[in-house]
């Protein structure tokens, strides 16, 4: 329970209600899918205009969406995880910032700039250009949606309340402790809002800073007099809990340990405040919990005894303790606080809040992608790779593939890297990329869970005896196009995802013979280096020469690997079959040798493969160009495709799976 007596909640209705009534949210209130904030309707008028039963809650989204948008100045900002694509983009960017940030202050600064850039930039005051831009945009969006309910991602101009809501949403998404307080030095409206963050130093002390979102976006500073408690304390909410005892400090018995002269009783409205010189220093959530009503006040505005600081106050009394000595020179500088070695480790490895995996990658659980090992019914082993073993398993009634990493004793930084890869995988959706379904993030079962593809790998399909004859030329060309489309999608992401280990064993075939890319990004978890003769057989055969030499490489390494896969589909042979892995490394990386080209191949395909194998990575074609070349080739007459290999077009049986996964026999196409 928070200090204000309202229960801590991530329920969108409860949190929406709390911000609407008080204008504040605590560190423990989470903005989640379905949250909405109403501007332009006074909650007290809502009570007066409705009976007590209706007035005990905020207006529903259904009611608000039915409000005629042309007849009201009201606006409702909605958090819509499914329908707001721009919000999802912002979450992805916030996640990238989270992993790249050096410390918590840098994280807060960059998140603040991200929010401000999305919502129109910086302005000296809210009244003026910013307000006019917001008003024009708001009216235009209402006309477009024919509704006063607007997705927050659509707001390219936003007031301080909009910016505060978006900042807290992104902060909650990456696990940065953040609350919304009432007050903003750039705004004089009733909706004025600011965001404060909590940072734990190396002594486990928590302190607060304000993140500027309007005038100097990203600037982090101590709370000032623009954020004060008068607004909250002057009017009691008609929605507050009726029983005063619910507002009492959880550990009231601790006051007995305080000297009597340090306890002061006053008959004041309940509020909580502290000196900006202390940056709202908080020892622990159990003893002193920040909340929607936690507001700071400038020491020069205080009518109280300057030697004391209010810790807690219910409806009839306050508990006050002596104020610690002020910092020399006034407010402590941010630079000095950075020198205390406050890093993201305090946030990511906090023992008092979430499990470690959630601190490292908080969005996993929020997106329902954290899978418990106990939920998986492991069945037979279906494969092995350099990263570990693959098992077929049943999860919630569906067949899945579980890839258990061979390395389980990760250090925290390695675990973070693993979770970073998982974070990349969870936002990837493409018909030619294996669907990521979740991850097991607890040792000793660190695993990736993906869709299960019954046909197995393209490697097995090509090199299994007799099956190669049953894949006609167009089928093989379509498979090559599938691979190119999947990798092109990965390379076009922002930031690009490079596979690094593209080979036919890492390409899976579904029941409809569509090829899908898998295991992208997992090559960094290999127990052996790629040039080791003890590494998994077959890996060096597909790798680019610069990669084998240990030189800097980029997405063009994937282009080289694709050239080998294309050669494999054309010849139906295993690359470098007469050499051991160590000999392949020597031949490709240091002797500049390439696989021999078959005679019965079209000039177009031969030129494409040779271009993919160019020794200069910069001269290799991008996958977008490869996709177009393969599409044109597919439209060519059969006699011009000339894929090579044994092209016997007999009506041999080819295994096919129906919708229930049962194998049926049909002639090859």
The rounded distance, in Å, linking the Cα atoms of 120 and 108 is 18
The rounded distance, in Å, linking the Cα atoms of 219 and 108 is 9
The rounded distance, in Å, linking the Cα atoms of 277 and 271 is 19
Which residues are annotated as part of the binding site for ATP?
403
In three-state secondary structure terms, 182 is strand
Widest distance between CA atoms in the chain: 99
Sheet containing 75-78: order of strands: 36-39, 75-78, 149-151
Residues in the chain, how many?
Answer: 669
Instruction: Measure CA 70 to chain center.
Output: 37
The rounded distance, in Å, linking the Cα atoms of 41 and 75 is 9
Paired with 211 in beta bridges are 195, 220
In 3-state terms, the chain is what percent helix, strand and coil (to 5)? 40, 15, 45
The rounded distance, in Å, linking the Cα atoms of 33 and 611 is 48
Catalytic residues: 501
Q: Could you give the C-alpha distances from 348 to 103, 104, 361, 375, 628, in angstroms and in order?
A: 10, 10, 8, 26, 45
Burial of 338 (0-12, 13-18, 19+ CB in 10 A): middle
Q: Annotate 33-58 with DSSP letters as a single string.
A: TT-EEEES--HHHHHHTS-HHHHTSP
Query: 360: closest CA among 442, 443, 422, 419?
Result: 419
CA quadruple 488, 489, 493, 495: dihedral sign: negative
Query: 366: closest CA among 89, 10, 107?
Result: 10
């Amino acid at each position: 329970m928070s200090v204000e007596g309202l229960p801590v909640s991530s329920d969108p209705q409860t949190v929406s209600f709390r911000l609407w009534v008080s204008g504040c949210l605590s560190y423990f209130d989470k903005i989640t899918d379905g949250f909405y904030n109403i501007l332009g309707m006074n909650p007290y008028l809502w009570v007066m205009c409705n009976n007590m039963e209706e007035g005990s809650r905020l207006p529903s989204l259904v009611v608000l969406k039915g409000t005629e948008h042309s007849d009201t100045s009201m606006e409702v900002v909605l958090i819509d995880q499914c329908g707001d694509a721009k919000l999802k983009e912002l979450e992805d960017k916030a996640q990238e910032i989270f992993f790249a940030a050096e410390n918590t202050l840098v994280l807060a600064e960059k998140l603040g700039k991200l929010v401000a850039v999305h919502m129109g930039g910086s302005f000296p005051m809210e009244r003026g250009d910013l307000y006019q831009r917001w008003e024009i945009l708001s009216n235009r969006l209402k006309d477009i949606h024919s509704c006063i309910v607007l997705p927050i991602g659509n707001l390219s101009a936003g007031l301080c309340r909009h910016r505060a809501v978006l900042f807290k949403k992104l902060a909650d998404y990456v696990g940065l402790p953040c609350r919304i307080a009432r007050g903003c030095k750039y705004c004089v409206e009733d909706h004025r809002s600011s965001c404060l963050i909590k940072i734990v130093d190396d002594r486990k002390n928590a302190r607060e800073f304000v993140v500027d979102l309007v005038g100097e976006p990203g600037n982090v500073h101590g709370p000032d007099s623009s954020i004060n408690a008068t607004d909250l304390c002057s009017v009691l909410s008609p929605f507050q809990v009726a029983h005063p005892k619910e507002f009492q400090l959880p550990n009231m018995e601790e006051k007995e340990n305080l000297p009597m002269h340090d306890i002061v009783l006053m008959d004041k409205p309940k509020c909580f405040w502290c000196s900006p010189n202390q940056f709202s220093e908080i020892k622990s959530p159990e003893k002193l919990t920040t909340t929607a009503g936690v507001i700071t006040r400038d020491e020069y505005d205080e009518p109280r005894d300057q030697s004391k600081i209010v810790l807690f106050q219910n409806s009839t009394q306050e508990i006050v303790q002596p104020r610690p000595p002020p910092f020399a020179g006034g407010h402590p500088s941010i630079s000095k606080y950075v020198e205390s070695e406050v890093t993201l480790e305090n946030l990511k490895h906090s023992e008092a809040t979430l499990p470690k995996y959630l601190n490292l990658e908080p969005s996993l659980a929020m997106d329902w992608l954290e899978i418990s090992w106990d939920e998986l019914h492991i069945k037979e082993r279906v494969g092995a790779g350099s990263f570990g073993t693959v098992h077929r398993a049943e999860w919630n009634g569906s067949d899945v593939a579980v890839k258990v990493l061979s390395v389980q004793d990760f250090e925290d930084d390695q675990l973070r890297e693993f979770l970073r890869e998982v974070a990349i995988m969870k936002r990837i959706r493409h018909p030619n990329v294996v669907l990521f379904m979740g991850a097991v993030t607890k040792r000793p079962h660190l695993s990736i869970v993906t869709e299960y593809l019954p046909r197995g790998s393209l490697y097995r399909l090509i090199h299994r005896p007799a099956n190669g004859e049953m894949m006609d030329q167009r089928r093989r060309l379509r498979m090559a196009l599938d691979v190119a489309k999947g990798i092109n999608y990965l390379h076009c992401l922002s930031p690009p995802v490079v596979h690094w280990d593209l080979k036919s064993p890492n390409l899976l075939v579904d029941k409809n013979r569509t090829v899908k890319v898998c295991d992208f990004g997992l090559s960094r978890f290999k127990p052996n280096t790629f040039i080791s003769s003890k590494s998994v057989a077959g890996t060096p055969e597909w790798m680019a020469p610069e990669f084998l030499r240990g030189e800097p490489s980029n997405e063009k390494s994937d282009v080289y690997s694709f050239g080998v896969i294309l050669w494999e589909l054309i010849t139906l042979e295993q690359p470098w079959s007469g050499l051991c892995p160590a000999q392949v490394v020597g031949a490709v990386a240091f002797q500049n040798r390439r696989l021999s080209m078959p005679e019965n191949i079209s000039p177009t395909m031969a030129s494409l493969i040779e271009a993919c194998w160019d020794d200069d990575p910069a001269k290799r074609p991008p996958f977008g160009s490869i996709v177009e070349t393969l599409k044109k080739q597919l439209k060519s007459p059969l006699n011009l495709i000339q894929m090579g290999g044994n092209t016997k077009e007999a009506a041999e049986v080819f295994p096919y799976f129906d919708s229930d996964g049962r194998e049926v026999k049909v002639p090859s196409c």
